[in-house]
Amino acid sequence: MRNASSIWIFLYNQMDMINAKPQAPHLPVLYHEIITALHPTSPGKYLDATIGAGGHARGILEASSPRGELLGMDLDKQALAIADQRLKHYNGRYTLVQSSYTRLLDAMQDIGWEEVNGIIIDLGLSSMQLDTPERGFSFRLEGPLDMRFDPERGLSAADLINQSSEKDLADIIWRYGEEKQSRRIARAIITARPVNTTSRLAEIIAGAIKGQRGKTHPATRTFQALRIAVNQELQAVEAFLPLAVAALAPGGRLAVISFHSLEDRIVKQYFAQESKDCLCPPEQPVCTCDHKAILERITKRPIVADETEIIENPRARSARLRIAAKKMA
């Protein structure tokens, strides 16, 4: 029997054979906007910090032919295996590394790169992760409560749920899921422990909220909160942004795709802050901070998917793309 990695590699290869055109439905979100924003050229160097199945990466390598190079990073071993298969046509022009994007400078140093001309990071989950039950990301499928991007490291969602106090669990659900019923949900989970499967957790949450359902499943925000907490996603984004700017060559561009307001807010605030020469309070007559702008905001408002893309890929509905360029020295 094939394992999850080989099944997904097979499926992606079949889709590539059937859908060779740029409009193929397996393209990642905001694909054309990313390629336009980074404007890859030969012999540029590019970093895909969350390479996933390699969709953006393949576009970058194609656009930067014949000598453009790409470094792809991901914590997910299955994703890297799929990306390697999809990019094999560009053999010799890409390097894949299983690591967090917060270690991008180390990864660059390991292959002898001092700077890159463009960076893309997609902070969302891939279809492969959502559709693989044993990863535990989705309440639509029965599976263990894992939710780790790297299943071999750190605490799982089950560990977090079954070991946290009611207060800590409620705080996680409120802070990372912005769930108004966080205390009620946390209380219901504590009462029902141990909780070890996705379907059981979704059932507990639905029972706690009862008739207070909106357009989305009542477990949506809680699952988001747990995933963010398990993978320390917000802290990782905060650490990543200054490292990414440090890695960029002057004039190089950073493109960030986020899928919820917490991540988008971090990116928006960082881009705004680092595009200003002074951060002193407006009422202060003389600048004393000595802060100098290092970025130019290419997009002051996020780019979103058009209706055509949303119809083809509903996941794109919540995608927000922000782009900044490193100022010339």
- Helix (H) / strand (E) element for 258: namely strand 248-258
Determine if the peptide bond prior to 194 is cis (ω within 30°).
Answer: yes
Can you give the pTM of this predicted structure? 0.87
Measured in degrees and rounded to the nearest 5, phi and psi for residue 93 equal -110, 0
pLDDT tens for the 329 residues of the chain, in order = 345 544 444 444 544 443 433 333 357 899 999 999 999 999 999 999 999 999 999 999 999 999 999 999 999 998 999 999 999 999 999 999 999 999 999 999 999 999 999 999 999 887 777 778 889 998 888 999 999 999 889 999 999 999 999 999 999 999 999 999 999 999 999 999 999 999 999 999 999 987 655 678 899 999 999 999 999 999 999 999 999 999 999 999 999 999 999 999 999 999 999 999 988 888 888 888 888 999 999 999 999 999 999 999 888 999 999 999 999 97
pLDDT attached to residue 284: 85
pLDDT attached to residue 213: 57
In 3-state terms, the chain is what percent helix, strand and coil (to 5)? 45, 15, 40
Strand order in the sheet with 94-98: 94-98, 69-74, 45-48, 116-122, 248-258, 320-326, 295-297
pLDDT attached to residue 279: 87
Measured in degrees and rounded to the nearest 5, phi and psi for residue 25 equal -70, -15
pLDDT attached to residue 9: 45
Q: Which domains does the chain have, with CATH numbers?
A: 4-122+233-326 (3.40.50.150), 133-231 (1.10.150.170)
